[in-house]
Structure 1
Amino acid sequence: MPSTWLITGATSGFGRLVTERALATGAHVIAVGRRRDRLAELVQLAPAGEITTLELDLTAPDAQAVLEGTVRAAGRLDVLINNAGYGLFGSVEQIDADEARAIFETNVLANLTVLRATLPALRASQGRVLQTSSLIGQFAWPSSGLYAASKGAVELISEALAHELAPTGVKVTIIEPGTFATEFAANLKVILPNDAYAPTVGKFLNDFSQLPPEAFGDPNAVADAIMTVAALREPPLRLAVGADAVENIRASLRSRLEELDRWETLSLAPAQQTV
């Protein structure tokens, strides 16, 4: 029996590339996205009967029920690619409450909606969960605070989930891509900094905008990595993809360890009593 995959954010970027690859293996794909025209394109590409398209806003109140019904109709689910999300860059202070709420609703709460809708079927098949994070799910740059926080939330939710699901046979992997040439940059929201943040947020955004095309990796590398991990009997919990992801995550981890060591004496000192 062919495997069944559910892929969110299937109409562009990594989601689109993985959808195409999964279809090429003979899998039945439930492709979830908000763009009807892009979903129609996938139908044209797919062999007859091997794709189910679902036009859905994952933040909608009925999203979980719609997903549950779709998975039930498919009869099984073997692989979840929980990939939908968008970027938001700007100083922490200047991102207002509505923008902050929106990024967490899409990148975190909708991610949880998808998990709740699919995990019963994935437990039944001892399937795979792949959660799309980012290299800045492990640390933050100037301007990335809210976006990095949303991806950091996905990272810790996924780590807990991996522990919780271990006895069931379901495997969880967090994909941490670096900088790749997808539609991400075209779709992200940027809040331009005021004078107070020009030396930090402004400089970072300007430097990033000046990166040459060769600084952006081929997104096919991420799609290939996802396909490989999905097939592994014992996949990693985290997989950084791209040289910049490996380099920056390693540097962040080393910095945190060095700081932990530097302040260990204070950390372990008895609490000072106050009079």
Structure 2
Amino acid sequence: MSSTWLITGATSGFGRLVAERALATGAHVIAVGRRRDRLADLAAAVPDNKITTIPLDITVADAEQVLADAVREVGRLDVLVNNAGYGLFGSIEETGADLARAIFETNVLANLAVLRATLPALRASRGRIVQLSSLLGQFSWPASSLYSASKGAVDLFSEGLALDLAPTGVKVTVLEPGVFGTDFAASAHIVAPNEVYTPTVGKFLTDFSALPPEAFGDPEQVADAIMAVVEMEEPPLRVAVGADAVEGIRSSLRSRLAELDRWESFSREPAVESV
């Protein structure tokens, strides 16, 4: 029996690549995305009985029910690639409440809604879950505070999810890509800094926009990683993809461990004074 996959953000970037690969293996793909035209383009190359397209903004109130109904209609679910999300870059002070709310609604709350919609079927199949985080789910850059916080939330609740699901046979992997050549940067929301934040946020944004094409990894590498971990009997909880992700996360962990060691004295019990 062929497997069934549900992929959010299937119209572009990593989601589109993984959808194409899953379809090439003979899987049935439930492809979810906001762009109806791109979903139609994806579906045009495969038989109708191998793809279910769902034009959907996963932040809308009934998204969870729509997805649950789609899974029920298809009849099973073996793999979830929870990929949809977007970027927000700017200082905390200059990012308004509406923008802050939107990044968490998309990257965190909608991610949870997708999980609630699919977990009953995934438990039944002892399936696989791939949660798309980022290298910035492990640390922050200047300008990335709220985006990093949203991806850090995905990283940590996915770890808890893996622990909760351990007896069921469902396996969870958090993918932490570095900087890759998708349309992510072009679609990200940028809050331009004022003069206070020009030396930090402004410099970072300027430097990032000046990166040459070779600084961006081949997104096929991320698709390769997703396809590989889904096939593993015991997949890793976290996978950093891209040399920049590996080195950035390693450097952050080393720095945090050094800081933990340096200030460990705060956690020691004070000496008891004799009377």
TM-score bracket, shorter-length normalisation:
over 0.9
Distance 1:247 1:232 in 2: 24
The number of equivalent residue pairs is: 272
What do the CA deviations read for 1:107-151 (whole angstroms, capped 9, x no partner)?
A: 000000000000000000000000000000000011000000000
What do the CA deviations read for 1:175-195 (whole angstroms, capped 9, x no partner)?
A: 000000001011000001111
What do the CA deviations read for 1:65-113 (whole angstroms, capped 9, x no partner)?
A: 1111000001000000000000000001111000000000000000000
Distance 1:173 1:243 in 2: 19
Distance 1:52 1:253 in 2: 41
Distance 1:112 1:260 in 2: 32
Q: For residue 72 of structure 2, what is the aligned residue in structure 1?
A: 72
Distance 1:96 1:46 in 2: 43
Q: Secondary structure at the match of 2:49?
A: coil
Q: CA deviation at 1:168?
A: 0.2
Q: For residue 168 of structure 2, what is the aligned residue in structure 1?
A: 168
Q: CA deviation at 1:46?
A: 1.7
Percent of matched pairs sharing the same residue: 72
Distance 1:260 1:268 in 2: 13
Distance 2:49 2:114 in 1: 23
Distance 2:270 2:142 in 1: 35
Q: For residue 145 of structure 2, what is the aligned residue in structure 1?
A: 145
Distance 2:138 2:60 in 1: 28
Residue identity opposite 1:229 in structure 2: V
Q: For residue 195 of structure 2, what is the aligned residue in structure 1?
A: 195
What do the CA deviations read for 1:18-47 (whole angstroms, capped 9, x no partner)?
A: 000000000000000000000000111223
Q: CA deviation at 1:271?
A: 10
Q: For residue 50 of structure 1, what is the aligned residue in structure 2?
A: 50
Tell me, yes or no, if structure 1 residue 186 matches structure 2 residue 191.
no
After the TM superposition, list the runs of 4 or more consecutive aligned residues in structure 1 that deviate by more than 4 angstroms: none
Q: For residue 92 of structure 1, what is the aligned residue in structure 2?
A: 92
Q: Secondary structure at the match of 1:71?
A: helix
Q: CA deviation at 1:48?
A: 3.5
Residue identity opposite 2:160 in structure 1: A
Distance 2:229 2:134 in 1: 16
Q: For residue 270 of structure 1, what is the aligned residue in structure 2?
A: 270
Q: For residue 157 of structure 1, what is the aligned residue in structure 2?
A: 157
- Structure 1 residue ranges without an equivalent (≥5): none
Q: Secondary structure at the match of 2:173?
A: strand
- Structure 2 residue ranges without an equivalent (≥5): none
Query: CA RMSD of the aligned region, Å?
Result: 1.1
Distance 2:190 2:166 in 1: 39
- Which is worse superposed, 40-49 or 51-60? 40-49
Q: CA deviation at 1:270?
A: 3.4
Q: For residue 228 of structure 2, what is the aligned residue in structure 1?
A: 228
Q: For residue 107 of structure 1, what is the aligned residue in structure 2?
A: 107
Distance 2:121 2:165 in 1: 13
Q: CA deviation at 1:269?
A: 4.0
TM-score (norm 2): 0.97
Distance 1:78 1:137 in 2: 26
